[in-house]
Amino acid sequence: MGTAVGALILRRVAVSVPLLLLTSLLVFVLVANAGDPLADLRAQPDVAPEVIDAQRRALHLDEPVLARYGRWLASAVQGDLGTSIAGRDVAGLLWQRMQVTLRMIVLAVALAIGLGLAFGVVGAVRHYSRLDHSLTFLSYVALSLPVFWLAGLLKEFLAVRLNRLVGRQVLFTVGDADPNLTGPLLERLGNYLGHLALPTLALMAAPIAVFGRYVRASMLDALSADYVRTAEAKGASRPRVVVHHALRNALAPFATLVALNFAHLFAGAVIVERVFGWQGMGQMLLDGVRAADPNVVSAWLLVTATTVHLVNLLADVAYGWLDPRVRVG
């Protein structure tokens, strides 16, 4: 198995690296031609042309785009992602923003997996019951609601009203934590959770529905399969049949589904961060595009694309682990 997994990883890397290079080149060229990074500086009435020229040279904007890309790539492979138009270290900025975004995404993925599995299994085991119909209805509602709209509803109808009801700030609508947060650990933790709750809820609503529907369908197939009937006939308990026999088989393709949705979550995070005023990677991307800053956007792409590739790779490996037929194949 080790050799097969190793070969799989090598094949994936061999495909991913050129793909990443090509994508980064494309994005760099597009962003570099998207506007004037010094537009704000030029818009100031009292800035001398020499100052603008000096800034152009300092940012290498006077060089051809391909030369700038080459310079960026040479530095990037050595771990130096350059500086932004505003003069900030991009690697440091990226690390700072990644911590913010991953906090939201990791929690959203974990909850979506747990709840999606639970809803899917319950829906399959008690299919066509009132509970199953309710879960199905809620899933379609969650899938139909655009993230930004759901986020707005959560702010207006959950945060504001709940806070009024309890007479204190429990849920927050802006930022990932209060500024100058001090006090006992529990209080700080409560503040972080109060800021995290609504964005996570907005972000995980659709994945829960997708996962739940998928698991329900897979479980229904599995529960009607011969080997499940055989297990039941041999006297295996209902929970053992559901969890050990049916769910395990349903889980293998589910791993791929989670990996694919991981990329969607990054896209959703861009919107959620915007709506909740989080300064994460999504906001970093928007700022980079708005400032026509190829260093920032390319670094963003490098990290998100690599992360998505890694998650997909992990999903393939997990698929093999969960389904012996794939290993043999």
Partner 1 sequence: MSGIRSPDRRRARAAAVLVGVALVVGGCRAGDTTAPTGRSPAPAPSVRAGGTLTYASGQKLTGFNQHSPASASAFLYNLMTQVWPSTFNSAPDGQRVLNRELLLSAEQTSSSPQTVVYRIDRRAAWSDGDPLDGRDFVYLWRTAYTKGAKDIDGSEIAATAVSAQGVIESVSLSDDDRTVTVVFARPYPDWQSLFALLVPSHIAERVGWNRGFNEFDPAVVVSGGPFRIAGYRPDQDVTLVRNERYWERPANLDAIVIRILPDVGQLLPAMSNREIDLANLTNPSTDLVTQARTVPGLTVAFYELARYDRLHFNFRNDLLAMPEVRRAIALALDRPAILARLNGQLDPAKAKISNSRLYSPGERGYEDTSGGRYDRADPAGARRLLETAGFVRSADGIYARDSARMSFRILQQARVDELIQAQLREVGIEVRIQSSPNVVDAQRRGDFDLTVASRPTGAGGKAGETSQFLTGGAFNLGRYSNPAVDDLISLANSELDEARRQSLYLRADQVMWDDMPTLPLQQAIGVVIHRDTFSNIVPEIAGGLFVSANHWGLR
Q: Does the protein bind partner 1 through residue 51 (CB under 8 A)?
A: yes
- Using the structure block, give the residue that is written with the tokens 């037929």: 325
Q: Interface with partner 1 includes 279 (CB under 8 A)?
A: yes
Please, are residues 253 and 327 in contact by the beta-carbon 8 Å criterion? Answer: no
Query: If binding is defined by CB under 8 A, does position 54 make contact with partner 1?
Result: yes
Closer CB to partner 1, residue 261 or residue 283? 283
With respect to partner 1, which residue has the nearer C-beta, 41 or 313? 41
Least spacing, CB of residue 222 vs partner 1, in Å: 44
Answer positive or negative: Cα dihedral of 172, 176, 179, 180: positive
Phi first, then psi, for residue 87 (nearest 5°) are 90, 15
The only residue of 16, 96, 191, 256 in contact with partner 1, by rule CB under 8 A = 96
| 106 binding partner 1? (CB under 8 A) | no
* Contact in structure between 252 and 326 (CB atoms under 8 Å): yes
Q: Which stretch binds partner 1 (CB under 8 A): 10-18, 67-75, 105-113, 279-287?
A: 279-287
Residue 85: closest CA among 26, 36, 50, 24: 36
Which residue lies nearer to partner 1 by CB, 47 or 107? 47
Contacts of 296 (CB under 8 A, 6+ apart): 84, 85, 90, 93, 284, 285, 287, 288
Scan residues 65-94 and list those touching partner 1 (CB under 8 A).
Answer: 86-88
Site track for partner 1 across 157-196, x = CB under 8 A: --xx--x-----x-xxxxx---xx----------------
Beta bridge partners of 83: 89
Torsion of CA 34, 35, 36, 42, to 10 degrees: -160
Residue ranges that bind partner 1, judged by CB under 8 A = 34-36, 39-48, 50-51, 54-55, 86-88, 96, 152, 155-156, 159-160, 163, 169, 171-175, 179-180, 274-277, 279, 283, 286-287, 290
